[in-house]
Structure formats: C-alpha cells, structure tokens
C-alpha cells in the first residue's frame, strides 16, 4: 500500500432552526420537516491529518485536548461510515477541532461539529456528493445535515419542496430578497449546562400526549413559513417563527418528565421585545433552541434598531451575559492545506 499523509481543514457553521426538528424515529429520521438558517461566525473548524497506513487509527482532540462526549459521537460516525465504505479503515485520522463560539451559548455545536466530521471523513475517501455528506451528517446528529448547505435549508420530506428528503437537507430557493442575508443576534441569557440533552428531548416525543398534533402543526407552520419567505411577508414570518419557538418549549414543559428550559431573562426579553416591536415595526423575530438563550433573527436593514434595543435591554435588565452577532452564511466546506484560516 502506498503511504502518504494529507492535511486539510473543514469548516462548518452552526444553524438555528426556524421550524424545529423535535422527535425522531428509526435511524435518526425526523418526525416532521424542519427549516433552518446556516450561520457564518459560529462555526467548528476541524483540522484533519490523514495517513494512508491501514492502521485505521483515530485520534480526536478539541483545541488540542481530549474530550469524551464529543469523541463518542465522532467515533460512532466513523464506524457508521466505515460500515458503508470499508476503505475508510485504510486511513488513520488525527482530528483537532475548535469552535468559535463558547460552550453553553445556546448554539448547537453538534450540528457544526458532526457536519464537519462527516465531510472530513468522506473527503479522505473522495466522497464529495452533497447528498451523501448530508446523509452521514444526519446520522451523526440530525440537525447537522442542515449545516451542510448555505443559508436557508430544509430537512424532511414535504410535497411543498421538490426533491426534499428525510435523508438529507435541500436548499430553500424560492425566497424574496427581503429574507436574504438574515442576521441573528444571539443573546446568552445563561451559559449553564443544558438541562436536557437533545437525545432525551427527542425521546420525550415518543410518548408525548401532544406528539401527533405537534407533527401536523409543524407541517402547517412550514407551509406558512415557505409562503412568507416567497412573498416577502415579514408579519407572517415573525408569527410563525415565534410560535415554533414557543411550541418547542411548551412541548418540553408538558412532557413527562417536564422541563422548563427558559429562564426569567428569556421571558423578560420576549415580553419587552414584542412590545418594542409593535412600536418600532422592526423586521425581527425571536426564536430559541432547546435552552434559555434567545436568537433575534432580523433584517440586515434593521440591525441598528435591533442592536440598540438589545443593548438597552441588557443594561436595564442585567439578565444577558453577552450577545453574539451572526449572519446567514455558507454550508460545510473543505479548505485545502494545513493551518488555521
């Protein structure tokens, strides 16, 4: 066997769901379609050093240090790819990752990390088809398959989008220019460890009394959101995005066991933000992931308005620890050569 070593960097941004994926079945397939915005500044970058040496060794580090939880998902993904592509075991991998965003900031690191790894492993064996990268990113962590694509992407079969699939994400193309370059101001209300992992949250939906209706409502919300995006309708965009966020939290609160993931600061923000928006007419909607932190998705034209409101709220309430500014961006990509970009 010819021996060689190759190095490359893979970068993948996190994404924030506007229509939430909450509930799965079979091998990580979604119970309803979801739609998200791939970000720019909040990303994982993994440096791959790959040797063709048939040892099939794997070494993972996070900023140069060993990390357990992350390793097990990474290991599982490697094994899963090797099941379909045994030639993966002809390579030894040394993978060092770093995140640009802080742990516990309410930004999904599994989405960026697992899409990065999926693309990085597949790169070694020359598999570069986006659908396949999405497929394996999904097996790593469901929401990761949406990070493979730029901007707004949809994961899950729906007759509303041709070519949509439960297997991988597809781009949402029919978008009015008012929704291009969306901004996301991420308010870190609490950086405490998440009370419930997303795996436990998905499991909650298996016996949730409202599950059946939720999966129908998610589809209805998706249809409304797609129409808003197409027609450039900010009012209905705001209505749907906020309803989705609150539904996700309502599902957790009414689950068995029940979880309350919002904190007083989250609720204080929501109440004041809605009042302010009525007066300012800003094109801005809040959403939350499975945690207390708030994402304010807004038009780039209203960034100043939104930032001024957030600064005032932070000063007067004292609730938020920090704010991270982000914007719609590119999907997973491989950057040749070693060294940080």
Closest of 204, 218, 254 to residue 24, by C-alpha: 204
Q: Which is nearer to ligand PMV, 92 or 147 (CB)?
A: 147
> Which is closer to ligand PMV, CB of 9 or CB of 261?
261
According to CB under 6 A, which residues from 200 to 239 bind ligand PMV?
Answer: none
Closest separation in Å from C-beta 49 to ligand PMV: 27
248 vs 320 by CB, closer to ligand PMV: 248
- Spell out where the chain has E strands: 5-19, 24-25, 29-30, 34-52, 58-62, 91-99, 152-155, 169-171, 183-188, 284-288, 294-298, 322-327, 333-336
Residue choice 12, 14, 32, 34 for contact with ligand PMV (CB under 6 A): 34
Judged by CB, which is closer to ligand PMV: 114, or 284? 114
Of 123-131, 135-143, 272-280, 320-328, the segment contacting ligand PMV by CB under 6 A is 135-143
**110, 147, 185, 287: which one binds ligand PMV (CB under 6 A):** 110
Whose CA is closest to 95, among 131, 126, 71?
A: 71
The DSSP letter of residue 302 is G
- The least CB distance from residue 142 to ligand PMV, in Å, is 4
Measuring CA to CA, how many Å separate 257 from each of 24, 199, 211?
18, 14, 14
- Taking the complex as a whole, the smallest distance from the CB of residue 289 to ligand PMV amounts, in Å, to 5
295 binds ligand PMV (CB under 6 A): no
CB of 144 to ligand PMV, least distance (A): 6
Applying CB under 6 A, the site for ligand PMV has a residue count of 13
Residue 46 CB, nearest approach to ligand PMV (Å):
18
Which C-beta is closer to ligand PMV: that of 10 or that of 17? 17
Report the distance separating Cα 222 and Cα 225, nearest Å. 5
Return the number of the residue (44 or 92) whose C-beta is nearest ligand PMV: 44
174-203: contacts with ligand PMV (CB under 6 A) = 198
Q: Identify which of residues 9 and 205 has a Cβ nearer to ligand PMV in the complex.
A: 205
Q: Does 108 bind ligand PMV (CB under 6 A)?
A: yes
Q: Which is nearer to ligand PMV, 143 or 164 (CB)?
A: 143
What per-residue string of b and e applies to 211-230 under the rule 16 or more CB within 10 Å gives b? beebbeebbebbbbbbebbe
Q: Which stretch binds ligand PMV (CB under 6 A): 75-83, 126-134, 138-146, 205-213?
A: 138-146
Residue partners of 157: CB distance under 8 A and separation at least 6: 33, 164, 165, 166
Residue selected from 14, 99, 109, 143 as contacting ligand PMV according to rule CB under 6 A: 143
Site string for ligand PMV, 13-32 (x = CB under 6 A): ----x--xxx----------
DSSP code of residue 187: E
Distances (CA, A) of 334 to 8, 82, 216, 316: 7, 20, 37, 43
Q: Does 142 bind ligand PMV (CB under 6 A)?
A: yes
Q: Are 170 and 149 in contact (CB under 8 A)?
A: yes
Distance CA 232, CA 229 (A): 5
Report how far residue 297's alpha carbon sits from residue 328's, in angstroms, rounded to the nearest whole number.
Answer: 10
Q: Are 163 and 145 in contact (CB under 8 A)?
A: no
Q: Which one of residues 81, 113, 124, 290 is an interface residue with ligand PMV (CB under 6 A)? A: 290
Binding residues for ligand PMV, rule: CB under 6 A, are 17, 20-22, 34, 108, 110, 141-143, 198, 289-290
């Amino acid at each position: 066997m010819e021996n060689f070593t190759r190095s490359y960097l893979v970068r993948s941004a996190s994404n924030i769901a506007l229509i939430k994926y909450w509930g799965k079945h079979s091998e990580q397939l979604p119970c309803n379609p979801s739609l998200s915005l791939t970000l720019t500044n909040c990303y994982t970058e993994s440096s791959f050093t790959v040797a063709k040496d048939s040892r099939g060794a794997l070494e993972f580090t996070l900023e140069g240090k060993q990390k357990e939880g992350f390793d097990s998902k990474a290991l599982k993904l490697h094994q899963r790819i090797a099941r379909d592509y045994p030639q993966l075991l002809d390579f030894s991998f040394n993978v060092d990752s770093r995140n640009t965003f802080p742990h516990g900031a309410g930004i999904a690191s599994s989405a960026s990390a697992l899409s990065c790894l999926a693309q990085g492993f597949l790169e070694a064996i020359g598999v570069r088809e986006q659908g396949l990268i999405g497929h394996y990113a999904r097996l790593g962590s469901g929401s990761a398959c949406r990070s493979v694509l730029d901007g707004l992407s949809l994961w899950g079969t729906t007759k509303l989008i041709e070519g949509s699939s439960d297997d991988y994400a597809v781009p949402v193309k029919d978008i009015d220019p008012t929704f291009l370059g969306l901004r996301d101001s991420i308010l870190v209300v609490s950086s405490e460890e998440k009370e419930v992992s997303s795996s436990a949250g998905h499991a909650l939906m298996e016996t949730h009394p409202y599950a059946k209706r939720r999966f129908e409502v998610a589809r209805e919300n998706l249809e409304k959101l797609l129409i808003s995006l197409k027609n450039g309708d900010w009012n209905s965009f705001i209505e749907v995005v906020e309803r989705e966020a609150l539904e996700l939290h309502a599902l957790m609160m009414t689950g068995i066991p029940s979880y309350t993931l919002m904190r007083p600061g989250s609720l204080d923000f929501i109440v004041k933000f809605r009042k302010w928006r009525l007066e300012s007419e800003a094109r801005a909607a809040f959403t939350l992931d499975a945690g207390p932190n708030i994402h304010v998705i807004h038009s780039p034209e209203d960034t100043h308005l939104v930032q001024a409101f957030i600064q005032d709220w932070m000063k007067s309430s004292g609730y938020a620890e920090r704010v991270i500014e982000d914007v719609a961006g590119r999907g997973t990509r491989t950057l040749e050569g070693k060294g940080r970009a």
